[in-house]
Each structure stands twice: as C-alpha cells, then as structure tokens.
Amino acid sequence: MEENKSSVYVYTDNQKRILRCEGGYTLGNIKNFTGWTLIDKGNGDRYNLCQSHYFVDGLYTEDGILRYKLVENAAQARTEEEIQADRDAMPKPVIPPTNSELEAENKILKAQLQAATDRQDFLEDCIAEMAMQVYAV
C-alpha cells in the first residue's frame, strides 16, 4: 500500500523571493494554486511542517526582509548582499520635527504673514490716496 505524500509549495514575488510556504497540514491555506511552485514531496514532519523544516530561521528577517529565493524550483538562502540591498531600498522613516523646529517655522510664518499684511495696508493706503487725487477735481 502506497502512502499519500505531502506536497510542499512556495509562493514568490516577481523577483523570485519566497513570500510563503505551505504544505502538509497547511496545504488547505492555498485556495488557488496559480503562482505557487511545487518544491518537494514526501512523508513525515519535514513535509507536513514544512515552513519550520525548510526555513529554520523563518522566511523573513527581524526587519521584514525576505531570507529565501526560488532557484530552479528549490529554496535557496539569499546572500547577505541581496538582503542588504532590500534593506537599503526600504523607505526611510519620516521623523517628525521637534518642538523647537516647529517654533522656528512658526516664527518665520508669522513674520511672512506680517510682511504680507503690511504690504496690503500700504497698497490700500496708496489706492485711497490715488482715489482722493482722481476724485478731488
């Protein structure tokens, strides 16, 4: 009698970095096999608990970078250079301004507003004076 073998599948991104691994007990997590690649078949825990046996350190680094890639239908660890390149390409976090930076910006904006208000007052005075000259006839 032949035993049923468990299948191990991986799902990759467009650069062949492995995003997910399912097989054995978790094979039901795959609803549509489009885009999934069969990498192994067999019996036992290695196939039924595939993620912990194929990817001992986990699929992702602590900072969310993918550790593995698919090469000729086999999982392969990515080099430290590849991982670092992904890390370098991550968007840098936006650091909010400090209170002193906000206060300095606020001072500048207040000065610009005051200058605009002074110009407006001057222009209104000029228009009023010109109107008095025009209508003084």
> pLDDT tens digits for 4-57?
788 899 999 999 999 999 888 887 888 888 999 999 988 888 878 888 888 888
User: Environment class of residue 89 by beta-carbon count within 10 Å: exposed (0-12), middle (13-18) or buried (19+)?
Assistant: exposed
Among 63, 68, 92, residue whose Cα is nearest residue 82: 68
pTM attached to this predicted model: 0.63
Distance CA 66, CA 62 (A): 10
Query: In this structure, are residues 72 and 30 in contact, taking their beta carbons and an 8 Å threshold?
Result: no
Q: What is the bridge-based pairing of β-strands 6-12 and 36-42? A: antiparallel
What Å distances lie between residue 64 and 31, 32, 39, 127, CA to CA?
A: 25, 25, 23, 64
User: Environment class of residue 129 by beta-carbon count within 10 Å: exposed (0-12), middle (13-18) or buried (19+)?
Assistant: exposed
Q: Does the pLDDT at position 61 exceed 50?
A: yes
Mean pLDDT of the chain, nearest integer: 89
Read off the pLDDT band of 115 (50, 70, 90).
very high
Q: Which two tokens stand for residue 116?
A: 């605009």
**3-class state of residue 87 by DSSP:** helix
Which ranges of 1-137 would DSSP assign to H, the alpha helix?
Answer: 45-48, 50-54, 80-89, 99-135
